[in-house]
């Protein structure tokens, strides 16, 4: 089996052309990614690099299947919780309790950080709290565009926040480094960007009066009043949090439940806490609605899996990684803020493996602190969660916040906080030894 860089570059070009043409004529991002993957595998087969093209494609469908199941289970939990009126009740309680716009926004930001920090997935933050945070931030007089920006930025910050940062974990595992000393290195930039985002989003927004907000909000079920009401509201969310924490604290004393099952168990608790009357048929109706709602995302992650497998089989993934890490340091510094997020957009967590780990080895040979380098890179990758082709967290945010504007206008809204996050990470990458005291 022989191949040259030119062969792989031609395949990469063919895949890009297939993606562009499919997007233009079929008007579906999902099928365009799958088509691009099929083209890559077809070329690899034609070159004799694989004898089992169908197997490669089918295995690609399984790459992100667990993620797809997670999205469905998490969305169902949120829909059941929301339909029970709990979200509405908690919004009313929070609006009644706090008067300051800044205090409420800070609370919302901190709440958003928790699910993603515990699970390592920003999408979980959007699923669990996206709707609630959207409702409250809008009542603070913030525009729809900036509300979507708030939810997205805190979702990606939550994914990067310790204790679980999947990019760092993947890079350290591959580079034989201990996953130790990252807390402050990750947390400080996240807090800076979080504070900036709250000011950026809230600046100039005029909070509606408490009475006005309460007039617009639907009346909460009376069973949500008092201490019993708080139990009904908080128990489903607490169940989820407790299951997250137990999985971290007692990993050997519990069966591995997995995030989808944790959401299913919390859904059962949400059903039991629902004060309204709903039967099995109603809940299946809700599930069908959830499937329709979340299908584009499910199709996206499954199609991305095909694309990832195809890129690996055809050598395109390796070409991208090698071409980047062989650049001189100056060029890496100049292009990493484009390269890392776009790699995340196309390869998801694979970006940490393809680009992150070789870069760590490269910086290590130059005598630079690899813990800081690793933290810096893992702050850059999440920015790509709003970039094509996958745009997973970006699309989820649009769904959760109901933002009606164009995707480009959403990207413009998130640009400032993302740029700040990128710049902080870039400074850490350029001067890693200066920040070594935080490790």
Partner 1 sequence: MILAQTIVTYIYYIITAIIGITLLKKFFKREKRQGLVYDLVYAYCLVPFILRLLQIK
Nearer to partner 1, 27 or 281 (CB): 27
**Interacting positions 268-287 with partner 1 (CB under 8 A):** 287
Nearer to partner 1, 25 or 203 (CB): 25
Shortest distance in whole angstroms from residue 302 CB to partner 1: 5
Nearer to partner 1, 226 or 402 (CB): 402
Rule CB under 8 A: say whether 211 interacts with partner 1. Answer: no
Rule CB under 8 A: say whether 20 interacts with partner 1. Answer: no
Rule CB under 8 A: say whether 264 interacts with partner 1. Answer: yes
Give 221's DSSP letter. Answer: P
Rule CB under 8 A: say whether 73 interacts with partner 1. Answer: yes
Four-point Cα dihedral 416, 417, 419, 422, nearest 10: 180
CB neighbour list of residue 34: distance below 8 Å, 6 or more residues apart: 303, 306, 307
Asked if 19 contacts 32 with a C-beta cutoff of 8 angstroms, the reply is: yes
Token match 């694979």: residue? 350
Shortest distance in whole angstroms from residue 23 CB to partner 1: 11
Nearer to partner 1, 58 or 199 (CB): 58
Shortest distance in whole angstroms from residue 297 CB to partner 1: 11
Shortest distance in whole angstroms from residue 227 CB to partner 1: 33
- Segment (H or E) for 199: helix 183-202
Nearer to partner 1, 203 or 252 (CB): 252
Q: Which is it for the CA torsion 129, 130, 134, 140, positive or negative?
A: positive
User: How many of the other CB atoms lie within 10 Å of CB of 438?
Assistant: 18
- Segment (H or E) for 147: helix 144-160
Query: Applying CB under 8 A, which part among 42-50, 60-68, 144-152, 200-208 lies near partner 1?
Result: 60-68
Rule CB under 8 A: say whether 78 interacts with partner 1. Answer: no
Question: Helix, strand or coil for residue 120?
Answer: coil
Q: 244-258 burial by CB neighbour count: b if 16+ within 10 A, else e?
A: beebeeeeeeeeeee
Asked if 383 contacts 418 with a C-beta cutoff of 8 angstroms, the reply is: yes
In whole angstroms, give the CA distance from residue 263 to residue 243.
Answer: 9
Rule CB under 8 A: say whether 52 interacts with partner 1. Answer: no
Rule CB under 8 A: say whether 380 interacts with partner 1. Answer: no
In whole angstroms, give the CA distance from residue 167 to residue 439.
Answer: 17
Asked if 307 contacts 33 with a C-beta cutoff of 8 angstroms, the reply is: yes
Among 299, 411, 430, 439, binds partner 1 (CB under 8 A): 299
Among 5, 62, 245, 276, binds partner 1 (CB under 8 A): 62
Query: Applying CB under 8 A, which part among 101-109, 187-195, 209-217, 296-304 lies near partner 1?
Result: 296-304
Query: Furthest-apart CA pair in the chain: how many Å?
Result: 73
Give the number of residues in contact with partner 1, rule: CB under 8 A. 32
Instruction: Write the DSSP string, 280-292.
Output: HHHHHHHHHHHHH
Shortest distance in whole angstroms from residue 287 CB to partner 1: 7
Asked if 417 contacts 193 with a C-beta cutoff of 8 angstroms, the reply is: yes
Shortest distance in whole angstroms from residue 65 CB to partner 1: 5
Query: Applying CB under 8 A, which part among 166-174, 255-263, 358-366, 378-386 lies near partner 1?
Result: 255-263
Nearer to partner 1, 31 or 430 (CB): 31
Query: Does residue 364 have a cis bond before it (omega within 30 degrees)?
Result: no
* Residues of the shown chain interacting with partner 1 in the complex, contacts defined by CB under 8 A: 26-28, 30-31, 34, 58-59, 61-62, 65, 68-69, 72-73, 255-258, 260-261, 264, 287-288, 291-292, 295-296, 298-299, 302-303
């Amino acid at each position: 089996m022989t191949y040259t860089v030119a062969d792989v570059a031609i395949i990469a070009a063919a895949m890009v052309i297939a993606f562009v043409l499919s997007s233009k004529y079929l008007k579906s991002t999902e099928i365009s990614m799958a088509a691009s993957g099929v083209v890559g595998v077809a070329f690899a087969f034609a070159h004799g690099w694989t004898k089992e093209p169908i197997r490669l494609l089918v295995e690609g469908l399984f790459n992100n299947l667990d993620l797809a199941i997670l999205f469905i289970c998490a969305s169902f939990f949120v829909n059941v919780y929301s339909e029970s009126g709990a979200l509405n009740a908690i919004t009313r309680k929070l609006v009644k309790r706090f008067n300051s716009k800044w205090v409420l926004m800070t609370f919302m930001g901190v709440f958003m950080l928790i699910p993603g920090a515990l699970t390592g997935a920003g999408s979980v933050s959007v699923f669990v709290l996206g709707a609630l945070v959207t409702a409250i931030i809008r009542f603070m007089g913030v525009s729809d565009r900036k509300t979507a920006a708030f939810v997205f930025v805190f979702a990606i910050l939550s994914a990067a926040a310790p204790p679980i940062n999947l990019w760092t974990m993947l890079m350290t595992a591959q580079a034989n480094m201990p996953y130790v000393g990252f807390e402050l290195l990750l947390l400080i930039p996240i807090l800076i960007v979080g504070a900036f985002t709250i000011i950026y989003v809230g600046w100039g927004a005029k909070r509606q009066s408490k009475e006005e907000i309460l007039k617009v909000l639907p009346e909460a079920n009376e069973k949500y009043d008092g201490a019993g009401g708080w139990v009904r509201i908080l128990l489903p969310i607490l169940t989820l949090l407790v299951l997250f924490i137990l999985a971290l604290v007692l990993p050997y004393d519990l069966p591995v439940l997995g995030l989808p099952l944790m959401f299913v168990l919390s859904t059962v608790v949400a059903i039991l806490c629902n004060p309204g009357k709903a039967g099995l048929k109603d809940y299946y109706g809700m599930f069908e609605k959830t499937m329709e709602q979340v299908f584009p995302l499910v199709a996206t992650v499954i199609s991305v899996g095909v694309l990832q497998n195809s890129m690996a089989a055809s050598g395109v993934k390796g070409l991208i990684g090698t071409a980047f890490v062989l650049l001189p340091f100056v060029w890496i510094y100049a292009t990493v803020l484009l390269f890392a997020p776009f790699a995340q957009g196309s390869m998801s967590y694979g970006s940490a493996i393809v680009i992150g780990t070789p870069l760590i080895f490269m910086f290590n040979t130059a005598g630079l602190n690899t813990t800081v380098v690793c933290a810096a890179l893992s702050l850059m990758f999440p920015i790509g969660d709003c970039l094509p082709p996958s745009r997973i967290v970006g699309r989820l945010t649009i769904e959760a916040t109901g933002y009606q504007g164009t995707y480009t206008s959403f990207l413009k809204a998130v640009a400032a906080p993302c740029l700040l996050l990128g710049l902080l990470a870039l400074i850490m990458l350029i001067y890693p030894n200066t920040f070594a005291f935080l490790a």
